[in-house]
Chains A and B, each alone.
Chain A
Amino acid sequence: AQSVTQPDIHITVSEGASLELRCNYSYGATPYLFWYVQSPGQGLQLLLKYFSGDTLVQGIKGFEAEFKRSQSSFNLRKPSVHWSDAAEYFCAVGGIQGAQKLVFGQGTRLTINP
């Protein structure tokens, strides 16, 4: 069955430090991959997506992610985090059986230390 694993439930980094959030997926073909961010009390906002082509994709708010087929990974990165980046981050995989239903990971909660 298709699945998404986000190994880190909670990560704390200092403001200005670099960030990497891990995402591993299980899917039989090249998937559609997404990262979403959820601020407290808010819905989910799309940060970036990968369909095909260049494996390094740029998103909003200075985030990027790299698709590595050999590792079944799609890790999210940011060179320098800001206090406003504190939120819950969800990785998702789609394209399952021709449908657009997305399967989400359990999320990683990011805390920023001043």
Chain B
Amino acid sequence: GAGVSQSPSNKVTEKGKDVELRCDPISGHTALYWYRQSLGQGLEFLIYFQGNSAPDKSGLPSDRFSAERTGGSVSTLTIQRTQQEDSAVYLCASSSRTEANYGYTFGSGTRLTVV
């Protein structure tokens, strides 16, 4: 597609439930990133996929968080047993490795509220 698409745009879930957030990157972009933006905070890196390489999971805050990227395209971020501190906007971005195009394109994010 023309841009990075994230779904759902908003998600309200009960504490303890699992949630899945989806990201469709720009076609042809080999790199995909997940970031978290808490209220009034900057962007916190979560995970990075680059082609067929092993993902960089160094930013995942706990083992309740996981992500996969199927077929080098769509990615799903899963949060198990959600906690109230997981409430945030989850942003996905994709990029090309070509320097001329280097620079993320972000989706509009998924606003997650854990009640």
Residues of A within 8 A of B (CB): 32, 34, 36, 41-46, 49, 51, 90, 94, 99-107
Residues on B with C-beta less than 8 A from A102 are 33, 45, 104
A43 in contact with B106 (CB, 8 Å): yes
Please measure, in the bound complex, the distance between the C-alpha atom of A99 and the C-alpha atom of B102, giving whole angstroms.
12
Residues on A with C-beta less than 8 A from B4 are 43
Q: Let me know if B63 is at the binding interface, CB within 8 A.
A: no
B102 in contact with A49 (CB, 8 Å): yes
A101 in contact with B43 (CB, 8 Å): no
Shortest distance in angstroms between B7's beta carbon and chain A's nearest beta carbon? 13
Q: Let me know if B112 is at the binding interface, CB within 8 A.
A: no
Residues on B with C-beta less than 8 A from A49 are 102-103
B102 in contact with A44 (CB, 8 Å): no
Please measure, in the bound complex, the distance between the C-alpha atom of A103 and the C-alpha atom of B44, giving whole angstroms.
8
B108 in contact with A100 (CB, 8 Å): no
Known: A44-B91, A44-B104, A46-B105. A101 touches B33 (CB 8 A): yes
Complex A-B: 15 CB contacts under 8 Å: A36-B104, A43-B4, A46-B103, A46-B104, A49-B103, A90-B42, A94-B102, A99-B50, A100-B31, A100-B48, A101-B45, A104-B42, A104-B43, A105-B42, A107-B42
Residues on A with C-beta less than 8 A from B18 are none
Residues on B with C-beta less than 8 A from A94 are 102
Output the nearest chain B residue to A34 by Cβ-Cβ distance. B103
Output the nearest chain A residue to B105 by Cβ-Cβ distance. A46
Please measure, in the bound complex, the distance between the C-alpha atom of A34 and the C-alpha atom of B97, giving whole angstroms.
16
Residues on A with C-beta less than 8 A from B105 are 46
Q: Let me know if B107 is at the binding interface, CB within 8 A.
A: yes
Residues on A with C-beta less than 8 A from B70 are none
Chain B window 82-109, contacts with chain A (Cβ cutoff 8 Å), 1 for yes, 0 for no: 0000000001010101010011111111
Q: Let me know if B62 is at the binding interface, CB within 8 A.
A: no
Known: A100-B95, A101-B56. A32 touches B102 (CB 8 A): yes
Q: Let me know if B41 is at the binding interface, CB within 8 A.
A: yes
Most chain B CB within a 10 A radius of its CB, from A34, A42, A94, A102: A102
